[in-house]
Homo-oligomer: A and B are copies of this chain.
Amino acid sequence: MAVKTIVETIRDTLAEEMARDERVVVLGEDVAAKGGVFKATDGLLGRFGDDRVIDTPLGEDGIVGVAIGAALNGLRPVAEIQFADFIYPAMDQIISEAARMRYRTNGALGCPLVIRAPYGGGVHGALYHSQSVEAFFFHVPGLKICAPATPADAKGLLTAAIRDDDPVLFFEHKRLYRSIKAEVAAGELVVPIGQADLKRRGDDLSIITYGAMLHLALEAADQLAQDDRIAVEVLDLRSLLPLDREAIATTVHKTSRALILHEDTRTGGVGAEVAAFLAEELFDDLDAPIVRLTGPDVPAMPYNHALEQAFLPRLDDVLAAVRRLAAF
């Protein structure tokens, strides 16, 4: 067992999968000599050579289009989008092509492809280096989406993603890259895509969350247990698509109260689907309104520090929301 950051785990997992399966190639802007702007591909060029670690021209449409073609012809590409905010030029290739390939060929042709993208804010990245973009892909059947928040989940889900026969979007919260360290077991670890994980047990209320907000939820749960004797259960979705509706139903069936927490903006975010699911399927179980605590409906997170902080949900917000919900 070694203690690792998330970005180290990503790098090591990429190396392990590349060593295991020579069809795995990495491509993107600055992934080779520079090793990626976050160093997530550092060292891969030296170890696997420039046939398998490819610096691309500047163009996300091309990166994903090339990756799709390579996947159709037998490779297992792992494409890096330098920042999730720059994924939009690739939307046509992702949505029209990768996501629909299996369906439109009636199952004849798959598109095994991973698109890694650092996302999220709180690192002074401003409007265009802070975005959460998962909701755009969440509405696309045919795609899978991972958003791990711990080193072990990063390892297990990335391994699963690379071995998956369908296209997977793999979102890495950049604020967690180096701020979260934990033990990661050596050897193979596969976390099935589509399984949420109970990160903390409790009977009074469920926080359903993912990404950086997991850690805020856990911090809040600790404090609420101590100060308020409220036992909060924390469900980490980990994968957003397929959504683990079973795990969501199980926790809310138990606690009867749900707080949905994400950093992404509110309207049309992933939390809306979780809430809608609960309002339809667990109506009888609910003892209180389903509350979402999210980023605000503004285009993106500003650069100025005070504005950036004003965007992000804070510990106090979570504490207050839980207390109100528990008292309902």
Say which residue of B99, B265, B276, B286 sits within 8 Å of A276 (CB atoms): B276
Task: Give A68 Cβ to nearest chain B Cβ, in Å.
Answer: 14
> How many copies, total?
2
**Bound Cα distance A153, B276 (Å):** 28
Say which residue of B89, B265, B270 sits within 8 Å of A92 (CB atoms): B89
Say which residue of B136, B283, B292, B299 sits within 8 Å of A136 (CB atoms): B136
Q: Which residues of B contact A238 (CB under 8 A)?
A: none
Q: Is the CB of B267 within 8 A of A268?
A: no
Task: Give A196 Cβ to nearest chain B Cβ, in Å.
Answer: 15
Q: Which residues of B contact A138 (CB under 8 A)?
A: 267-268
Chain A interface size range: 35 or more
List 15 A-B pairs, Cβ < 8 Å. Answer: A61-B89, A88-B95, A89-B91, A100-B127, A103-B300, A104-B127, A138-B268, A139-B265, A140-B299, A141-B298, A141-B299, A275-B279, A275-B280, A279-B290, A280-B291
User: Which 8 A-B pairs rank lowest in CB-CB distance, beginning with the nearest?
Assistant: A275-B276, A139-B268, A279-B279, A88-B92, A283-B289, A272-B272, A272-B276, A91-B91
**Bound Cα distance A280, B267 (Å):** 13
Task: Give A211 Cβ to nearest chain B Cβ, in Å.
Answer: 16
Q: Which residues of B contact A224 (CB under 8 A)?
A: none
Q: Is the CB of B280 within 8 A of A139?
A: no
Q: Is the CB of A103 within 8 A of B273?
A: no
**Bound Cα distance A241, B298 (Å):** 13
**Bound Cα distance A103, B300 (Å):** 9
Which of A's residues lie within 8 Å of B, judged by CB? 61, 85, 88-89, 91-92, 95-96, 99-100, 103-104, 127-128, 135-136, 138-142, 241, 243, 265, 267-276, 278-281, 283, 286, 288-292, 297-300
Q: Is the CB of A280 within 8 A of B289?
A: yes
**Bound Cα distance A171, B320 (Å):** 40
Name the prevailing secondary structure of the A interface residues.
Answer: helix
Q: Is the CB of B290 within 8 A of A100?
A: no
Q: Which residues of B contact A91 (CB under 8 A)?
A: 88-89, 91-92
Q: A139-B136, A286-B283 are in contact. Are A292 and B276 (CB under 8 A)?
A: yes
Q: Closest residue of chain B to A99, judged by CB?
A: B299
**Bound Cα distance A267, B274 (Å):** 9
Q: Closest residue of chain B to A268, judged by CB?
A: B139
Q: Closest residue of chain B to A101, judged by CB?
A: B299
**Bound Cα distance A175, B212 (Å):** 43
Q: Which residues of B contact A280 (CB under 8 A)?
A: 275, 289-292
Q: Which residues of B contact A291 (CB under 8 A)?
A: 280
Q: Closest residue of chain B to A289, judged by CB?
A: B283
Q: Which residues of B contact A127 (CB under 8 A)?
A: 100, 103-104
Q: Is the CB of A267 within 8 A of B96?
A: no
Task: Give A65 Cβ to nearest chain B Cβ, in Å.
Answer: 11
Say which residue of B100, B128, B269, B278 sits within 8 Å of A300 (CB atoms): B100
**Bound Cα distance A95, B131 (Å):** 11
Task: Give A199 Cβ to nearest chain B Cβ, in Å.
Answer: 23
**Bound Cα distance A288, B289 (Å):** 13
